Amino acid sequence: CHWMVTPILYGLGSDELLSGSVLCSPNSNMSSMVVTANGNDNKKFKGEDKMDGAPSRVLHIRKLPGEVTETEVIALGLPFGKVTNILMLKGKNQAFLELATEEAAITMVNYYSAVTPHLRNQPIYIQYSNHKELKTDNTLNQRAQAVLQAVTAVQTTNAPISGTAVSETAVTPAQSPVLRIIIDNMYYPVTLDVLHQIFSKFGAVLKIITFTKNNQFQALLQYGDPVNAQQAKLALDGQNIYNACCTLRIDFSKLVNLNVKYNNDKSRDYTRPDLPSGDGQPALDPAIAAAFAKETSLLGLPVAAVPGALSPLAIPNAAAAAAAAAAGRVSMPGVSAGGNTVLLVSNLNEEMVTPQSLFTLFGVYGDVQRVKILYNKKDSALIQMADGNQSQLAMSHLNGQKMYGKIIRVTLSKHQTVQLPREGLDDQGLTKDFGNSPLHRFKKPGSKNFQNIFPPSATLHLSNIPPSVAEDDLRTLFANTGGTVKAFKFFQDHKMALLQMSTVEEAIQALIDLHNYNLGENHHLRVSFSKSTI
């Protein structure tokens, strides 16, 4: 069948009317399609009003806002796969979008039947078209084709986080549906779920990828619509998630589509619940996720008051609760009021690990009270922190890090406390009580240490260095831990320094070995992870 489409406005201005044709393949059961000029209301458009037609890789999109652009319509399809064609029917506020595969189209329809898509704050409707494919005369909608080509061209190149950057002419960064979020002053952990709760206020969040770059927690977050991204940026940039900390810094990403391979606590594709969790980390336990969602009381985490769109980061109660739970402040079923304080650490190197080494490493993120290496399973240990916030902090920073050559797993334990062995019972030094240790970093309220909590990094911050100790002494000392010292820099007063190992794993090892090392003259070396590089 061959339908003529007489002049249609393609958003190019009335003096640039184009005419052309839409062809549908012979197996199309299109009943009647008559499209006449310039968006008058006398167009008939039948045969496309079935909501549940047979699946097709061509989708029919209705109720589009008048001023919507091709880019915005293409962005609806991108999260689901390659978009191969588009036809805008401006006057009818409709469009046809063709995806590369029927499977992608089915995923898209299924997703948007659960989450109503919005463009420019208006709900729109997506269904299968009767067309099996869309053939457009390229002169018909040059602009749409140009945008498509730009997007497709870059979709095939390997952008850094296998997403898609786009040439400026096609999509200016301000039109990208993807935001880049950096969190400054991260004194409490901010989880992927907290970000989802906060940003969902501005539209459907399709995908989130979190990562640490330059020792800062960052995220890429993709909306179904660039306008939602713009609104979220306007409302949230510069706001604090919690009182006086966890400040959001938001920019448009150069990517227009994120490619998420795993659904776990580091990345998630909400359009693809079927994705594996990857070996990197277990996906969030569904029971915990449900508890987060149900919990509506906020037990004592001060949440920042944000003007306008967000009252106290007015993620709805459930969201505030998830944020609070993330910082270990919410009572969850089976968990003590302060959040669970006991961590289960597994996949440890049982030849090397000691309670002392775990105390030192986990002590970077909280005051470790007790450590118990399990008697029957010496590659696992229970670690009791001083409060739930500290256990969350340690879990978010240390899960997946390498200690003594093995990638350790850190999860919340079902135990409430770590039991000490009964009086007179020797457990071969596997359990140790550190309750009265002089080495706790967070005993003093308001201590500077609270402001210097950073993820494990190759660069270490050294302090409490006596005047007699020179750079060479420290380089030699740290090289003896089995790694390579890449760079060193004293601060002006020579009491502090930055020292860079060649890998994060080497830095973790050096911190375990040398934190509290006696440098003489009654100076014990203090070692922590730095956010700076040399």
- Kindly report which listed range (19-23, 51-55, 115-119) carries the lowest average pLDDT score: 19-23
Quote the crossing angle between the two packed helices 102-114 and 70-77, to the nearest 10°. Answer: 100
Does residue 41 register a pLDDT over 60? no
Query: Residue 102 burial (CB < 10 Å; 0-12/13-18/19+)?
Result: middle
Q: Decide if 416 contacts 342 (C-beta within 8 A).
A: yes
Please state the rounded mean pLDDT for residues 499-516: 97
Tokens of 263: 């659904």
Confidence of residue 216 (pLDDT cuts 50, 70, 90): confident
Higher pLDDT, residue 114 or 508: 508
Note whether 269 and 207 are within 8 A (CB): yes
pLDDT at 428 over 80: yes
Residue type at 245?
C
Give 53 or 280, the one with higher predicted confidence.
53
Q: What is the pLDDT of residue 140?
A: 57
Band of the pLDDT at 523, cuts 50, 70, 90? very high
Mean pLDDT of 256-284: 80
Contact in structure between 167 and 194 (CB atoms under 8 Å): no
| Mean pLDDT of the 294-318 span | 31
Which pLDDT band, with edges at 50, 70 and 90, does 339 fall under?
low
C-beta neighbour count of 291 within 10 angstroms:
19
What is the tens place of the pLDDT at every residue in 192-212?
Answer: 988 998 898 888 899 999 998
Confidence of residue 153 (pLDDT cuts 50, 70, 90): low
Q: Nearest CA to 102 among 78, 74, 81, 72?
A: 81
The band of 135, judged by pLDDT with boundaries at 50, 70 and 90, is: confident
CA distance 202 to 193: 15
Which is it for strands 240-242 and 216-223: parallel, antiparallel or unpaired? unpaired
Distances (CA, A) of 286 to 2, 150, 282, 283: 51, 40, 11, 8
Which tokens sit at 141?
């909608």
| Residue of higher predicted confidence among 138 and 48 | 138
Asked if residue 298 has pLDDT above 50, the reply is: no
Q: List, for residues 242-267, the tens digit of each pLDDT value.
A: 766 788 999 999 888 999 999 998 99
Identify the pLDDT of residue 149.
73
- Collapsing DSSP states into helix, strand and coil, what is residue 198? helix
pTM of structure: 0.43
Q: What is the mean pLDDT of residues 415-442?
A: 88
Give strand ranges (E) for 15-129: 18-23, 33-34, 44-45, 58-62, 83-89, 94-99, 118-119, 122-123, 125-128
Instruction: Round the average pLDDT of the chain to a whole number and report it.
Output: 76
pLDDT tens-digit readout, 343-369: 999 999 999 999 999 999 999 999 999
Sheet holding 94-99, edge to edge: 83-89, 94-99, 58-62, 125-128
pLDDT at 380 > cutoff 80: yes
Asked if pLDDT for residue 114 goes beyond 70, the answer is yes
For the residues of 366-405, what is the DSSP string, one character each? S-EEEEEE-TT-TT-EEEEESSHHHHHHHHHHHTT-EETT
Work out the angle at residue 474's Cα, subtended by the Cα atoms of residues 472 and 478, and round it to the nearest 5 degrees.
120
For residue 507, with 0-12 CB atoms within 10 Å meaning exposed, 13-18 middle and 19 or more buried, which class applies? buried
Q: How confident is the model at residue 307 (pLDDT cuts 50, 70, 90)?
A: very low
Structure tokens at 410: 């850190």
